[in-house]
Amino acid sequence: MFELDKFSVKGKVSEEEWQTRIDLAACYRLVADFRWGDLIYTHISARVPNSDHYLVNAFGLAFEEVTASNLVKVDLQGNVLDGSPYQINPAGFTIHSAIHEVRHDAKCVLHLHTKATIGVATIQGGLKPWSQYAMFSLSSMSYHAYEGLAVNAAEKLRLQNDLGSNNHMLLHNHGGLTLGPTVGDAFMRFYDLQRACEIQMDLLQAGQPIIEIPQEIVDGIYAQANVVHSGETGGQKAWPAMLRKAYKLDPSFCE
């Protein structure tokens, strides 16, 4: 049976980087558990604190195999740093590098090809105000046209312009994307987006009249969310519980 080489970078990187590695590895494990993955494809990236370097999954590993140590450190051009034995998928990092290049507030970028996000991203009109989950995404939503596999450097500028200052994106015919100031924020934003898309696709299947949420409610949701979270972000409130969940699933992500 094929076994992955086990090694640890703990103690060889800063405490801040190690904590980012723990959070990012946990995020990969949670995505696998929620069945949002796509074999060895799709990516979640996180900025190494106090640097212009980034962590991303090794190309060829399933999400449930990702650990804090086997995450690969790269620069914005996708060059592998620090002598990692693994490589990355250059095409997969194109979208992430485009966002990290201009959104310095985005410490984490999460891009997945889930059935629900692809479905809503492919329907004319995109995400609809049909559920409470949709509220959080709609208040900061953008769209990007499909241009084929993400290997064309010229697409990066168009993606950056389409994203603007938003934290959620549906890529037509392709999937969903969220970003945040922490791994937890990016994860929780994708959780809300995924649930909203699942509900929308189910409602379309039902074929019944839809009660839409008025635009003034959509516009006011951020103020309401601030009350619910007591001034903290959704990621800050929920992420510690998600870390505990990841540890219960399989603590090997901490290696």
Confidence label for 216 from pLDDT (cuts 50, 70 and 90): confident
Domain ranges of the chain: 15-248
- Model pTM? 0.91
**Pairing of β 108-112 and β 175-180:** antiparallel
Q: Residue 47 carries which side chain, given as an amino acid letter?
A: R
What are 136's two structure tokens?
């959080």
Residue-wise pLDDT for 27-78, tens only, equals 999 999 999 988 888 999 999 999 999 999 999 999 999 999 999 999 988 8
**Does domain 15-248 match CATH 3.40.225.10?**
yes
Distance of alpha carbon 88 from the chain centroid:
17
Residue 30: count other Cβ atoms within 10 Å of its Cβ: 20
pLDDT number for residue 85 = 85
